[in-house]
């Protein structure tokens, strides 16, 4: 994708300049080669404990991930997705930029090992909704978004429905099941990207409706 014709990448460059000093003074920026990163390795996880509609958080290694971490004081994670368990097969549905082989940033359904590839992640946590409910509407919504091949929302605009970003996807998926994970409380950022309000990973991570199942930090 040509940088000149990519509004999302232009915004990222702008934000990188805006936060350049903050990143290196507020975060322990770690280069990816610290983790012996390869596409054939992934972070360890016991998949037997996972259930459909669990929420998985991931700490990324990219500079964009560090920008999210710099902006979010309530979370050590920069990305989020929803786990789908079909018989013994476990996948993660999520919306993320710059991980598509086609160059088009659309919703993805990745195998767990792909989602936790060590060249993309240095930590993760899995959370679960505390109460037993019928997740059929949530699962139907996820399937519909996969069928639509919904695009990544580089505008970070919660008011639109034709594109989604990672936390927006999780938030709106649970809304389909009648669950407002954040009790209508949003984040406001003074940065030159997207449109307020936002939903940062920490807003969902600290939800009173979720309980932690497992976590892993490769520090």
Q: Is residue 170 part of a domain?
A: yes
In a domain, residue 173? The reply is: yes
Residue at 59 is within a domain: no
Q: For 38-89, what is each residue's pLDDT tens digit? A: 566 999 999 999 999 999 999 999 888 998 999 999 999 999 999 999 988 9
For residue 56, list its beta bridge partners: 81, 126
SS3 sequence of the chain: CCHHHCHHHHHHHHHHHHHHHHHHHHCCCCCHHHHCCCCCCECCCCHHHCCCCCEEEEEECCHHHHHHHHHCCCCCCCEEEEEEEECCEEEEEEECCCCCCCCCCEEEEEEHHHHCECCCEEEEEEEEECCCCCCHHHHHHHHHHHHHCCEECCCCCCCCCCEECHHHHHHHHHHHCCCCCCCCCCECCCCCCCCCCECCHHHHHCCCCEEEEEEEECC
**Considering only CA atoms, which of 124, 115, 71 is closest in space to residue 96?**
115
- Please give the pLDDT value at position 190: 72
Answer whether residue 46 is part of any domain: no
- By CB atoms closer than 10 A (0-12, 13-18, 19+), residue 106 is middle
| pLDDT > 70: percent of the chain | 79
Residues 5-41 have pLDDT tens digits of 555 555 654 544 444 434 443 444 444 344 344 566 9
Q: Residue 188: inside a domain, yes or no?
A: yes
190 compared with 7, residue with greater pLDDT: 190
Q: Give pLDDT, residue 151.
A: 97
CA separation for the pair 12, 93 (Å, rounded): 23
Is 32 domain-assigned? yes
Instruction: Write the pLDDT tens digit of every residue in 101-146.
Output: 888 999 999 999 999 999 999 999 999 999 988 999 999 999 999 9
CB atoms within 10 A of CB 88: 7
> Does some domain include residue 51?
no
What pLDDT, on a 0 to 100 scale, did the predictor assign at position 193?
63
pLDDT at 91 > cutoff 60: yes
Distance CA 153, CA 162 (A): 8
Q: Which domain holds residue 93?
A: 3-39+72-217
**Predicted confidence band of residue 194 (pLDDT cuts 50, 70, 90):** low
State the total domains in the chain: 1
Q: Is residue 62 part of a domain?
A: no
175's tokens: 């809304």
Residue 14 belongs to a domain with what CATH number? 3.90.1720.10
What is residue 32's predicted lDDT score, i.e. its pLDDT? 39
């Amino acid at each position: 994708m040509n940088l000149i014709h990519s509004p999302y990448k232009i915004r990222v460059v702008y934000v990188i300049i805006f936060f350049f000093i903050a990143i290196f003074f507020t975060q322990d920026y770690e280069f990816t080669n610290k983790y012996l990163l390869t596409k054939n390795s992934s972070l360890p996880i016991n998949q037997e404990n996972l259930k459909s509609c669990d929420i998985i958080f991931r700490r990324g290694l990219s500079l964009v991930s560090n920008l999210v971490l710099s902006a979010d004081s309530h979370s050590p994670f920069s990305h989020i997705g929803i786990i789908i368990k079909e018989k013994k097969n476990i996948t993660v549905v999520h919306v993320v930029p710059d991980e598509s082989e086609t160059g088009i940033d659309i919703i993805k359904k990745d195998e767990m090992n792909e989602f936790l590839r060590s060249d993309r992640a240095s930590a993760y946590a899995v959370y679960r909704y505390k109460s037993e409910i019928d997740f059929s509407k949530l699962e139907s919504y996820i399937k519909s978004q996969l069928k639509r091949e919904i695009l990544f929302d580089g505008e970070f605009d919660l008011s639109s429905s034709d594109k989604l970003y990672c936390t927006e996807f999780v938030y709106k998926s649970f809304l389909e099941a009648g669950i407002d994970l954040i009790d209508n409380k949003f984040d406001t950022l003074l940065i030159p990207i997207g449109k307020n309000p936002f939903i940062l990973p920490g807003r969902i991570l600290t939800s009173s409706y979720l309980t932690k199942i497992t976590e892993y930090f490769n520090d």
